[in-house]
Structure formats: structure tokens, C-alpha cells
Amino acid sequence: QVQLVESGGGLVQPGGSLRLSCAASGSISTIYAMRWYRQAPGKQRELVAAITSGGSTNYADSVKARFTISRDNAKNTVYLQMNSLKPEDTAVYYCNADIRPQRATIMYGYWGQGTQVTVSS
């Protein structure tokens, strides 16, 4: 019953900003790492940013200094603040999280449905 739901995608001009949100819901015991991936047409899905349960972050070189990943553990939500957007940032952005459900002994990987980000003038 665990679900991830993304929101905040849309159309933005080059140089603009967008903030993505991903909320986890359901029968959750523990959320470990949370991540943002993206996939452009004809390309492989790539890791954009990751954040641990303790708040440590990692970014792809292509978005470093422009994107910021954060999380609100009380809300089971991860965010991706995207600034100085470029046309090459255009992709479907997916939320991913390692979650242990309630009454489970192991964690599983979960994916959101994706949200479209289009950077164009």
C-alpha cells in the first residue's frame, strides 16, 4: 500500500525555476534514501540527486550548483528545487525511495509515476 506521488512539473522558460515534490504515503515504517531520476526521450534513466535519511546529498555533475534536494521527514516528502533550468533538463522526473513497510523485515524500492518538466522558450 506504499505509494509515491510526484507533483510540481510543468513548462518553464530557460533560466527559470521549478520545485518538484514527492510524497510517500501508506503503511510505512522507515524511509531510508530518497532520490530523483529523470529520463529524456531516447535516453536512459539517470540519477539526478539523492538524499540519505540523515540529510547527506549527492548530485549529478550536470545539475550540481543548480538543483537542491531536500526532505521533510515529518511529511514523508522529498523535494527538488531546480534553478537556472536549461533545455537539456527537459525530461520526465521520477521519485524513488527505499522504504520498509510496517510489519516488514526488509526494505523495498518504490517509484513514483513521474512528472514532466519541459524547459523551452
Determine whether 101 is exposed, middle or buried from the number of CB atoms within 10 Å of its CB (0-12, 13-18, 19+). middle
Query: What is the spatial distance between Cα 51 and Cα 69, in angstroms, rounded to a whole number?
Result: 7
Q: What digits encode the pLDDT tens for the residues 24-48?
A: 999 999 999 999 999 999 999 999 9
Q: pLDDT band at residue 6, thresholds of 50, 70 and 90?
A: very high
- How far, in Å, CA of 92 to CA of 41, rounded? 9
| pLDDT above 90 (res 67) | yes
The bridge status of strand 28-39 relative to strand 91-101 is antiparallel
